[in-house]
A and B are shown apart, each in its own frame.
Chain A
Amino acid sequence: MGGAYEVTGTNIKKYYSIAGMTVAMKDGSGLQYLLTDHLGSVVAVTDASGTLTSQQRYLPFGQVRTDLNGPRITGTDFGYTGQRNISYINLLDYKSRWYDPLLGRFISPDSIIPDPSNPQSINRYTYVLNQPTNLNDPTGHCFSGAIIDTVLCVAAAAAIVAILTSGGSNVTPEALTASANQQSIAHKYETLQYNNKITNLEQGAKLVSYAAKQDSGCTSCFVKNVGAVLSGGSGILQPFLVDLTKNKSLASPYYSQGIGQSGFSSVYQDPVSDSGGGNQLHHYWYYVQVGYETDNRDLGYGLDWFHEHILGDPKGMSSQDLILGHQGIDTGLALRNGTLKPRDVGQWMLDTLSSHGIMHAQ
């Protein structure tokens, strides 16, 4: 869900989120808790003491079911899959597009084809590949698994980056919660490289801030940990979104392998089942990979391998080590604990990169 605050005349509603989930709201009638199902659909509302006050269920494509006893949910317009519902016009706001639950399709076509390798996604009106009972679509651009531990979501990386970088405007958490797979990112790499730049400290700090907040309270949400990352290029910071779930299949599960991504990220590490380490539950990095401007064709390889190419020495230090001096984990934890402010990290990153002659504040 999104949205923290809404004002209609003198009526104010505030929403509260934990780890990206909207869990409560407050309006004139006091604090209320919102309970969701596996898709994030709001199915029940309780008052501050936990007493059920209203509930509803949905048909698979999102229409509100009419066969339940008791009052429907009226205090909030967050509904099916956690999107805002304007029931009077039978449309749901999926952020980039509007969705018609009666029709089971979007009313306007996607501006992108999110995954050209999947013929289903060529149908640009389709909602979540016609699998509404186990997928949802946080942004109107992609589809992601809610229960299953696999993210099918192929994000509209270019669109999101465009959002992130549109002049001076705010980065929305919704935009960042979409994840992306490496292949897609790599495919769009060249466009991103030259057309989308984050040039100011605030933008960078925002991304780091959000990445830090994403992980709070999360002990097993591998799927939901989407690192918002900054990559060092020639004098610019570049945003990428990284799907950390991809790490799970790698030989080095405690490395945040990805697209040659950089910045702050965290990886959940299962101390029992993960091989090759597993000495801590969370692994945090804040690092910047340099030189992928010349290595873009290598995107998608393992991090170790990638490091080797970055530094031109297969047995040398990784860029992570070079930049941070092994402080990445500490930094990540400090961010998480709130002892380090994201904007300070952003400044530190610029300073560090500048000292290596890699990046210059603009």
Chain B
Amino acid sequence: MKFSNRAILLPDIWIDSVVGEYRAGLGNIIRVFYPRFWKQSIHIVKCLPAPTSTSITQTPQPPAAGWVGTNYTYTPSHPHAVTALSGGAVASYQYDANGNTLAPGASVGVTCRVEMGLTYKQTYNPENRLSTVQKLASGDCATPLTYSASWSFSYDGNGTRVEQLYTTYDANGTEQSGVITSYFTLFRVLWAELMK
């Protein structure tokens, strides 16, 4: 018996419609275009001209009619680290001192995300796993004032996420009691059965 849980999707070929522009030398996304109207019956895949500029930050261009474009901005000193999105999506990103991808063995990543008006402050554990994410209600990452929610993650020795603590805050910014979710991987269950 051939088994599949794959859904049959109705003809909605939006997935063919994304157009990205990538910088050949660095593999960076420069722009991503999505069609503005997903259910239009005809999708046209646009062929964008190859980028001619050699600077790290591309000059934003207005998206074609019917498309939503998001521009990616990089910093010259850290050529792989996106610092901002503009256009369709608006965001900014800060990296810690180890986020420089040119320094081997010392990489952590984004420590502050501001996406579509929401600010997330992130910390990592010594193994570079995301440790906490705090959603700010007021203030910024440098000087957070109050939080609206926070998440803490625990990992086992394999780096598998095994526990999550979700904490909410009331309107005054006072921490409420947290909710813990524990995760058990498939193999642990199987192995327990096997060893019976």
Interface on A for B, CB 8 Å cutoff?
Answer: 2-9, 15, 17-19, 21, 23, 33-38, 43-44, 57, 59-61, 65, 67, 84, 86, 88-91, 93, 95-96, 98, 100, 102-109, 111, 119-126, 129-130, 132-133, 163, 166-167, 169-175, 205-206, 209-210, 213, 217, 219-220, 341-343
Residue of A nearest to B26 (CB): A123
Bound complex: CA A163 to CA B99 (Å): 24
Total A-B pairs, Cβ < 8 A: 190
Smallest distance from the beta carbon of B192 to chain A beta carbons, Å? Answer: 10
Bound complex: CA A98 to CA B39 (Å): 31
User: Chain A contacts of B107 at CB under 8 A?
Assistant: 108-109, 111, 124
Do residues A36 and B158 form an inter-chain contact, with CB atoms below 8 A?
Answer: no
Residue of A nearest to B18 (CB): A60
Do residues B82 and A103 form an inter-chain contact, with CB atoms below 8 A?
Answer: yes
Bound complex: CA A2 to CA B185 (Å): 6
Do residues B133 and A89 form an inter-chain contact, with CB atoms below 8 A?
Answer: yes
Do residues A343 and B27 form an inter-chain contact, with CB atoms below 8 A?
Answer: no
Sorted nearest first, the 3 A-B pairs with minimum C-beta distance are: A108-B109, A35-B7, A123-B27
Contacting residues of chain B (7-32) with chain A, CB-CB under 8 angstroms: 7, 9, 12, 14-16, 18, 20, 22, 26-29, 32
Smallest distance from the beta carbon of A21 to chain B beta carbons, Å? Answer: 6
Q: B101 is contacted by which of A3, A44, A125, A209 (Cβ under 8 Å)?
A: A125
Residue of B nearest to A110 (CB): B107
Do residues A206 and B191 form an inter-chain contact, with CB atoms below 8 A?
Answer: yes
Do residues B158 and A175 form an inter-chain contact, with CB atoms below 8 A?
Answer: yes
Bound complex: CA A88 to CA B161 (Å): 17
Apart from A57-B9, A88-B151, A103-B115, what are 12 other A-B pairs with CB-CB below 8 Å?
A4-B184, A21-B5, A43-B7, A102-B91, A103-B93, A108-B110, A123-B80, A171-B187, A172-B160, A173-B186, A219-B2, A343-B194
Do residues A6 and B182 form an inter-chain contact, with CB atoms below 8 A?
Answer: yes
Do residues A43 and B9 form an inter-chain contact, with CB atoms below 8 A?
Answer: yes
Given the known interface contacts A90-B115, A104-B29, the answer about A95 and B6 at a Cβ–Cβ threshold of 8 Å is no
User: Chain B contacts of A96 at CB under 8 A?
Assistant: 159
Smallest distance from the beta carbon of B146 to chain A beta carbons, Å? Answer: 17
Residue of A nearest to B164 (CB): A86
Bound complex: CA A105 to CA B82 (Å): 9
User: Chain A contacts of B182 at CB under 8 A?
Assistant: 6-8
